[in-house]
Amino acid sequence: MIRIPLTSRMAWQALQEHATESSSVHLRDLFRADASRGERMSLQALGFYFDYSKQRVTSETMSLLLQLAEDCGLRGRIVAMFRGDKINITENRAVLHTALRAPRTARVEVDGRDVVADVHAVLDRMAAFAEQVRSGAWRGYTGRPIRTVVNIGIGGSDLGPVMAYEALRAYAVRDIQFRYVSNVDGTDMAEALRDLDAAETLFIVSSKTFTTQETMTNAHTARSWLLDHLNHDAAIARHFVAVSTNAAAVSQFGIDVANMFGFWDWVGGRYSMDSAIGLSTMIAIGPENFRDMLAGFHEMDEHFRLAPFAKNLPVLMGLLSIWNTNFLGAETLAVLPYDQYLKRLPAYLQQLTMESNGKSVTLGGTRVSYETSPIYWGEPGTNGQHSFYQLIHQGTRLISCDFIGFKRSLNPLGEHHTLLMSNLFAQAEALAFGKTSDEVAAEGTAEWLVPHRTFEGNRPSNMLLAEQLTPAVLGKLVALYEHIVFVQGAIWDIGSFDQWGVELGKVLAKRIAAELNAADEPAPSHDSSTNALIRWFRA
């Protein structure tokens, strides 16, 4: 297949020219020139109100970006993903997280097998188990019900469950505690176990491969702790369940395969929070809420698959991030949820976006000549305003922001929500329009102080609003970002679904661990710095 380099595409070149021509245009001018810009550049879909009028774009920018999407074959790529083609070419795998939330009646085949039936079989088993734990019918080895669930996993087997648990806490049972242990640093496990009663603790060992060093180390430590307290191997079956694709390793660990919840190689770790990896989420919020969340994911999948690009949320947000990254030079993208429950969303999105699109060769294997994934980061509002927002307002870098907010609070308390939302809208406004030196001077500011108090503005942002944070809305939100990543990857022509950098870390750590334990000299293959570090640690 002949691949046209992205930078040789006509739409790309037109965008470059257009970016140069419009470089001096300010959002103030754009709004002044079009009184209806705020409504025109907004979209209501799936219960979201999405306003992108504060992006530095015109109608021409948008039509060039949409043309770029067409030229890059985004349409065909979407079809290929949903159909189950092996688009993860370096691992020869299908990419079918969308099948995890397909309704029971759907059919998606991988190698001739309908995977939707498999998905629902696992969901049903998860639901039965979750109900048992929630109702107290599931008893620990000494006959007591479960009071704490500890999820042991890392990366994709941790960040999604943690984020979803925090996000949906308002829907969670309050008489069971949930803890998440991921770091191989013993402190993580020690602090999680410190005040727990083994007789009332359930461990979910979540690992797609069941070989990940951190997770296996933590799982073995948890098992020893449990056996120290309950003194019998038979206790393992009542206090450990597994989520994995590796039945052999699960059973070797001592977990009854009857208590294993499976998933498949076509689910990437960072795309797995709605698979069995979400077992802790389901125990927390209950099967019905979990299914609502899946329905939300599915609704966004269908929107992504079917909506015209000009009215397609993931396509628009993906293209806007391309514009900011590749044509305006923004290196980072701040995700700023004005909702305390979404406090772990930025961390979750860091993995989703940067592990997926932190790549520098095209699918054809040649080095890219343009930037790929921006750095995603963020904190919930309003905390960030008293910290790093300063740099977004007045620093030298261009940072684009995704603001997220809700009309109704899950905890309506006096004036809190109105204040929260007024901060949200005010920040987006200030970033876009700034404050000119004339305006500052007109306030009676001393001349020497004027430059310090002037805000350039012209800082681009998206505003994404919804009625209230519900399981379905969370599902839509996560699917939205999953598909934004897909759009970006399709335009950049990179493989969004492998993670060789993560694999490298897994191999390297094992090698050095053996050397840290050995008494002899470090293997000469290391550099002088690494050898010295190993000697320092051993001494």
Which spans of this chain sit near ligand G6Q (rule: CB under 6 A)? 154-157, 207-209, 212, 215, 268-270, 355, 499, 502
SS3 label, residue 106: coil
Residues 6+ apart with CB under 8 A from 174: none
Least spacing, CB of residue 146 vs ligand G6Q, in Å: 23
Pick 268 or 405: Cβ nearer ligand G6Q: 268
Q: Which two tokens stand for residue 328?
A: 């305006």
Pick 145 or 262: Cβ nearer ligand G6Q: 262
Sheet containing 201-206, strands listed edge to edge, beginning at the edge strand earlier in sequence: 177-181, 148-152, 201-206, 240-244, 260-262
| CA dist., res. 189 & res. 224, Å (int) | 12
CB 226 within 8 A of CB 163: no
**Single-letter amino acid, residue 296:** G
Backbone angles phi, psi at 90, to 5 degrees: -75, -15
Residue 491 has a CB neighbour count (10 Å cut-off) of: 27
Q: Which residues pair with 243 in a beta bridge?
A: 206, 261
Least spacing, CB of residue 213 vs ligand G6Q, in Å: 9
| CA dist., res. 349 & res. 478, Å (int) | 9
**Total residue count of the chain as it appears in this document:** 539
CB 347 within 8 A of CB 363: no
Is 54 annotated as catalytic?
no
Backbone angles phi, psi at 237, to 5 degrees: -65, -25
Pick 76 or 505: Cβ nearer ligand G6Q: 505
Pick 268 or 457: Cβ nearer ligand G6Q: 268
Q: Which two tokens stand for residue 472?
A: 């379905």
Q: Which residues pair with 336 in a beta bridge?
A: 403
Is 386 annotated as catalytic?
yes
| CA dist., res. 150 & res. 205, Å (int) | 8
Residue 531 has a CB neighbour count (10 Å cut-off) of: 16
Do the bridges between strand 177-181 and strand 113-114 make them parallel or antiparallel, or are there none, so unpaired? unpaired
The DSSP string of 241-300 is EEEES-HHHHHHHT--GGGEEE--TTS-GGG-TTSGGGHHHHHHH-HHHHHHHHHHHHHH
Pick 395 or 501: Cβ nearer ligand G6Q: 501
Residue 425 has a CB neighbour count (10 Å cut-off) of: 14
Q: Which residues pair with 88 in a beta bridge?
A: 93
Can you tell me which residue has the tokens 């007045």? 394
Least spacing, CB of residue 262 vs ligand G6Q, in Å: 13
Least spacing, CB of residue 503 vs ligand G6Q, in Å: 8
Pick 269 or 489: Cβ nearer ligand G6Q: 269
Least spacing, CB of residue 501 vs ligand G6Q, in Å: 10
Least spacing, CB of residue 493 vs ligand G6Q, in Å: 20
Pick 274 or 292: Cβ nearer ligand G6Q: 274
| CA dist., res. 38 & res. 48, Å (int) | 15
Sign of the alpha-carbon torsion through 109, 111, 115, 121: positive
Pick 123 or 243: Cβ nearer ligand G6Q: 243
Can you tell me which residue has the tokens 């004036």? 415
Pick 58 or 213: Cβ nearer ligand G6Q: 213
Least spacing, CB of residue 506 vs ligand G6Q, in Å: 7
> Closest residue to ligand G6Q, Cβ-based?
155
Least spacing, CB of residue 304 vs ligand G6Q, in Å: 20
Is 91 annotated as catalytic?
no
Pick 192 or 420: Cβ nearer ligand G6Q: 192
Residue from 467, 506, 510, 521 carrying the catalytic annotation: 506
Least spacing, CB of residue 255 vs ligand G6Q, in Å: 15
Do the bridges between strand 109-110 and strand 113-114 make them parallel or antiparallel, or are there none, so unpaired? antiparallel
Instruction: Please report which helix (H) or strand (E) contains residue 113, including its range.
Output: strand 113-114
SS3 label, residue 349: helix
Cis link prior to 382 (omega < 30° from 0)?
Answer: yes
Least spacing, CB of residue 251 vs ligand G6Q, in Å: 17
The DSSP string of 346-376 is HHHHHIIIIIHH---B-TTSPBPSS--PPEE
Residue from 386, 415, 447, 452 carrying the catalytic annotation: 386
Residue from 214, 355, 379, 482 carrying the catalytic annotation: 355
Burial class (CB in 10 A: 0-12, 13-18, 19+), 269: buried
Catalytic residues: 355, 386, 506
